Chain A
Amino acid sequence: MSPESARLRIKTWICATVVVLSNVFGNFFMKRGMPAELPTPLAYITALFQPWVSLGVLLLILWMLSRMALLSWADLSYVLPVTSIGYVLVALAGRVLLNEQISYKRWAGIALIMAGVALVSGGSAPQTAKASAAEGGQ
């Protein structure tokens, strides 16, 4: 592996980790803080200022920005499957933190997602498409 592709792979792993964790925890805090009933649009807006919801919103902004940064060098067909590991984390977090039961169907789904992520991340470099012309010479 050339130093350049090793650099890109490490950078991709770090950024993908931020993308996945900010999404999982952002959604978790949003769900934790959101009231069950939001009868009016005003209730929706005031809900955004609850502490847990605000933290969730901040994490989802971080998710959006880190995903954009990741896509500035990594392929969409790499990022999509690899970041789906978030579904696995949500299922496992439910089991560990909330003591939820995981059905056989869900375990099977978790296994399929992990196999898919392993195939994509192990079987191809994060970047195959040519970078933009503006980048040439760097």
Chain B
Amino acid sequence: MKWIWIAVIVAATTAGEVLQAMGMRRHGEIRDFRPDAIGRAMAVLAQNRFVIGSVVAMAISFFAYMGLLTIADLSFAVPATAVTYVLETVLAKYVLKEQVNWLRWAGASLVIFGVALVSL
């Protein structure tokens, strides 16, 4: 049962974060941080399909995580969901077309093992 929750969390988190990055990159760099400009940007983003999709996916991920924590400890949940780092880095390269050089691969790999060790 735990592994079903993990599969749902990993899929929803990965989809949510990649969609969020995709939506924000399409929106373009946010340059104006005054409150009225941020309000206008939020109004535009609320109609961005990728951003809406990312919010839905992250909500699923949040509630699935709460569900997992009722039957498993954080020391199981955190390392098991760290696999999202790998999936998201792969999707960043092939879907978001980012240049993932070997330093980024190495850094992401170190972070995965580090996160697993810190929470075990």
Contact = CB atoms under 8 A, between A and B. Distances in A.
Interface of A: 65, 67-69, 71-73, 75-81, 84, 87-88, 91, 105-106, 108-120, 122-124, 128-132, 134-135
Interface of A is mostly: helix
Interface residues of B, number: 44
Contacts of A106: 117-118
Contacts, number: 147
A76 B29 contact: no
Contact of A81 (B96, B99, B108): B108
A124 B101 contact: yes
Nearest to A102: B118
A19 B28 CA distance: 19
A120 B108 contact: yes
A112 B103 contact: no
Contacts of A77: 88-89, 92-93, 96, 98, 100, 104, 108
